[in-house]
Amino acid sequence: TQLLEQSPQFLSIQEGENLTVYCNSSSVFSSLQWYRQEPGEGPVLLVTVVTGGEVKKLKRLTFQFGDARKDSSLHITAAQPGDTGLYLCAPWGGGYQKVTFGIGTKLQVIP
Amino acid sequence: ETGVTQTPRHLVMGMTNKKSLKCEQHLGHNAMYWYKQSAKKPLELMFVYNFKEQTENNSVPSRFSPECPNSSHLFLHLHTLQPEDSALYLCASSQDRYGINEQFFGPGTRLTVL
């Protein structure tokens, strides 16, 4: 059974600050997704990373897949209140394995 | 709007009631999922349907009964639930069951069992 950890579990910051959240595991993954879930809604896909060491940018969000493909990070620059939500990492082990979800990081950006 | 709708959005039921949750996707996808989201726990996959066939049941108690009459509709029939079943129930769909396809989620049904 793979152990999947997301940290921190809760984060409250002021608008304009930078932050990084992490997704770590003891297992190697084929690829990994990040989803954001806003209050009262279901999760929405932000990005999929598939190559070790890969970096993807989505406006102020930067996603990195670790070289060993066991971990990933999400960095937000100049956070805005609209970034508030639950950030879920969802790795996939490949083959017929199902996608699993981490517990998430709950981010609150205060205006 | 993700193309996946769920009804009702909120449901309060007693332990002896029978109710059903409905999910509909307008994306032409072949796989549909039920997840349970509780506080302080990861999203728990309950059931997976691929081309209308159930391909996964993650040891879900029999008081939860899924039904997939066609690729666009998914139901979760509830009976004799327990208070610990109170949670957000999310439906999702994807192109198919395999690989790391994007999952499109509905807004969820907030269920409270009294």
Which residue in chain A has the smallest CA separation from B6? Answer: A42
Cα(A27)–Cα(B104) distance, integer angstroms:
26
pLDDT at A1 over 60: no
- pLDDT tens readout for residues B21-63: 999 999 999 999 999 999 889 999 999 999 888 888 888 999 9
**Cβ pair B103:A41 closer than 8 A:** no
Tokens of A56: 């993807």
- In Å, what is the CA distance from A39 to each residue of A44, A62, A95? 12, 22, 33
**Cβ pair A42:B102 closer than 8 A:** no
For residues A67 and A53, the answer to whether their CB atoms sit within 8 Å is yes
Q: What is the pLDDT of residue A2?
A: 56
Tokens of B107: 């807004």
Q: With cut-offs at 50, 70 and 90, classify the pLDDT of residue B90.
A: very high
For residues A72 and A46, the answer to whether their CB atoms sit within 8 Å is no
Q: With cut-offs at 50, 70 and 90, classify the pLDDT of residue B100.
A: confident
Cα(B59)–Cα(B62) distance, integer angstroms:
9
CB count within 10 Å of CB A43 equals: 28
**Cβ pair B107:A43 closer than 8 A:** no
Q: What is the pLDDT of residue B58?
A: 84
- pLDDT tens readout for residues A63-109: 999 999 999 999 999 999 999 999 999 999 888 788 889 999 999 99
Tokens of B90: 């999310």
- pLDDT tens readout for residues A15-30: 999 999 999 998 999 9
Distance from CA of B79 to the nearest CA of A (A): 24
In terms of Cα–Cα distance, which of A72, A70, A87 is closest to A30? A70
In degrees, to the nearest 5, what angle opens at C-alpha B2 toward C-alphas B10 and B27? 115
Tokens of B20: 């059903």
For residues B53 and B66, the answer to whether their CB atoms sit within 8 Å is no
Give the residue-averaged pLDDT of B89-95: 96
Q: What is the pLDDT of residue B72?
A: 95
For residues B44 and B35, the answer to whether their CB atoms sit within 8 Å is yes
Name chain A contacts of B42, Cβ cutoff 8 Å: 4, 100-104
Interface of B to A at Cβ within 8 Å reads: 2, 4, 40-43, 45, 48, 56, 90, 92, 98-100, 102-103, 105-108
